[in-house]
Each structure stands twice: as C-alpha cells, then as structure tokens.
Structure 1
C-alpha cells in the first residue's frame, strides 16, 4: 500500500513509462546512427584507392579508417553513458510500480 493518502494518477504513470521507452529507443537509434556514420567512413577509406590515382593515397585511407574507429568508439561510449543516465532517471519516477500493483 502507498504511504501517501492521495490516489495514484494512472495516466501519469503510463505517460512516464512511455516517455522512458521513447528515450530508450532514441538512445538505440543514436547508436545505430553512429554505427552507420562509422561505416560510411570505412567505405570511404576502402574506395579512396580507386578514386585517387596519386601516390600517398594510403595516408588518406588511414585517416578515414581512424575517423571510422573514432566515431564508432565515441558512439558506443555515448550509448552506455546515456543508458546509465536513463537507468538512474527511473529512480526519480518513484516507487510507482509497487503502488500501482497494490491498487
């Protein structure tokens, strides 16, 4: 039973739960966008040899590969950092699950 004497607003609980789910999906979408961008730089590095007929094209390839790796690492770190913040934000919603199940 809830310690407060006020009734639980079930619409508010549903709205908060749905907002949390949207935030989780947005975080996953952002990770996939970083992965896609990383793959674009990887493909650019692979195809630069055919596009440029200059000596030293290997340096351009290495630059594109390094950018691809950096974007991928940043995206993964960003994903887990935001995932941790999302999990911590569930605490601020309160103990609504226990209150909701008891009513």
Structure 2
C-alpha cells in the first residue's frame, strides 16, 4: 500500500493577473520536482475560465510536503500569490483509499 500524499491546489487570479499566475506556477515546476520527496508537480489551466488554475502534486510523505512549504521558491510564490489571487488558494490533501 502506498502512503503517497496527493495535493490539489486551486487558484483564482484577480482580473488582469491571469498570465502572471500561469508564469509563477510554471516557475515552481522545476525546483519542486528537484526536491527529494516530490513525485509529481503539474499545473493545469481551466480552458473555460482563464482566471483559474490548479496544481496536482504528489509527495512521498507529509514531511516532504512540509519541507516544500519551507523552501525559498515556495515562500516567494506564496508572497506573489497574496498579491495576485482574488481569494485564498484552496488546498486539498488526498491519500490513497485502501483496497
């Protein structure tokens, strides 16, 4: 049984900030994937709502995710998101369902 942690983070940009949101989330891919414990990190755009994006992430453990939250690339994007989001981002933590 896997203990991986799947994260779905949802974002809504303020009007006029849609491209900046895409750019900032795209800039998170490489440094996040380089982290020990990161299995996947992929942003997705909502084709019908250009102001909305999600990131689907997979981490080996809660500790790996907590470490991610402490790193400079995350603290940078968190500050930027405070400026460009229309509402606080939504974070869902999902775990595998036992068979």
TM-score of the pair, normalised by structure 2: 0.32
TM-score of the pair, normalised by structure 1: 0.31
Larger radius of gyration between Structure 1 and Structure 2: 1
> Which is richer in strand?
2
